[in-house]
Amino acid sequence: MDFTIRDMNKADIPSVLKIELTCFDFPWSESMFMNQLMLEDIALILVAVRDDTIVGYVIVWLEGKDSHILNVAVDKKWRGKKIADGILNAVITQSVNKGCSRIYLEVRKSNRYAQDFYRRNGFQVIGEEAGYYGETGENALILELILD
């Protein structure tokens, strides 16, 4: 599967929003994505593109030696095509290049699909945050990947 990973820009937001709305019950708003783009000093914001179509994205904050994945999704039509792997590999590479020693994220306790993906890619559960998702009160598992 041929796709590229590049920095997200303002013109990408409508396409990213379409993916966001189909992937999440409580999606981010347009203004949330716009705000992330303005945090260029701390945010790593990437899109996966195939044939001029955005098929996935990730929002990461660089916090000292940590990379914190805030939001990631792949268009449902493109799942199973290694796009999430490509996005994660780009995050790992850029995190290492920025001097980070670990990547961490929160994932819904009910989201087995995402948990399985991250475990396959070397992440381990390091904790649980009770009531993390305010809209439902669902707990989050905290996962991390230690970078070499």
pLDDT over 80 (residue 63): yes
Tell me the whole-structure pTM to 2 decimals: 0.94
Task: Output the domain CATH number for residue 105.
Answer: 3.40.630.30
Count of structural domains within the chain: 1
- Give the domain extent around 118: 4-146
Distances (CA, A) of 54 to 21, 71, 145: 14, 15, 26
Residue 15: its pLDDT value, please?
Answer: 97
pLDDT in tens, 10-44: 999 999 999 999 999 899 999 999 999 999 889 99
**Averaged pLDDT score across all residues of the chain:** 95
Contact present, 1 and 82 (Cβ < 8 Å) = yes
pLDDT in tens, 123-133: 999 999 999 99
